[in-house]
Amino acid sequence: MKFVIDASVAIKWFIPDCEEEENTEQAIQLFKDIQAFKIEPIQPTHWQAEVIAVLARLTPETNDQNINLLNALNFPVWDNLETYQQASFLAIKFKHHLFDTLYHAVALENLALLVTADKKYYNKAKNQGNIILLDDYQTP
């Protein structure tokens, strides 16, 4: 099964001991499931830039290491005109940032499941489908 992992989840892989982050156990399990080929990641093109931007702010001392580790993941990306059209539609419909709706658009187009820790976006978009909260993630 294909999964899209947004930045709110991916950053938890790099800072699992951060007390301010919730559900790091589920995030780590999700990563282990990717490593075990239980799920197949597919990402929007901007995902690495967004994760790096957050990590550079939160953990500047490990910035180079984080960039190298993120690059080594080598997750496939999805990029086409329809993705941007769908993401724009979602951004307008939910009055939400396009970078967040790009994850959801990729999930919808690939019959994948978006995993997010962003409760604000989830509450707006849950009825659109193909989205779960990290809180609810279970190994397939």
More confident residue, 105 or 20: 105
The total domain count for the chain is 1
Measured CA distances, 99 to 44, 54, 72, 83, 122 (Å): 9, 13, 22, 12, 14
pLDDT tens figures, 66-75: 999 999 999 9
* pTM score above 0.85: yes
- What is the residue whose two structure tokens read 């019959």? 111
Share of the chain above pLDDT 90, in %: 92
Q: What CATH number has the domain bearing residue 21? A: 3.40.50.1010
Residue span of the structural domain in which 124 resides: 2-136
User: Cα separation of 16 and 65, whole Å?
Assistant: 15
104 close to 87: Cβ distance less than 8 angstroms: yes
Provide the Cα torsion 78, 1, 3, 139; round to 10°: -160
Start-to-end Cα distance in the chain: 8
- Residue range 74-117, pLDDT digits in tens: 999 999 999 999 999 999 999 999 999 999 999 999 999 999 99
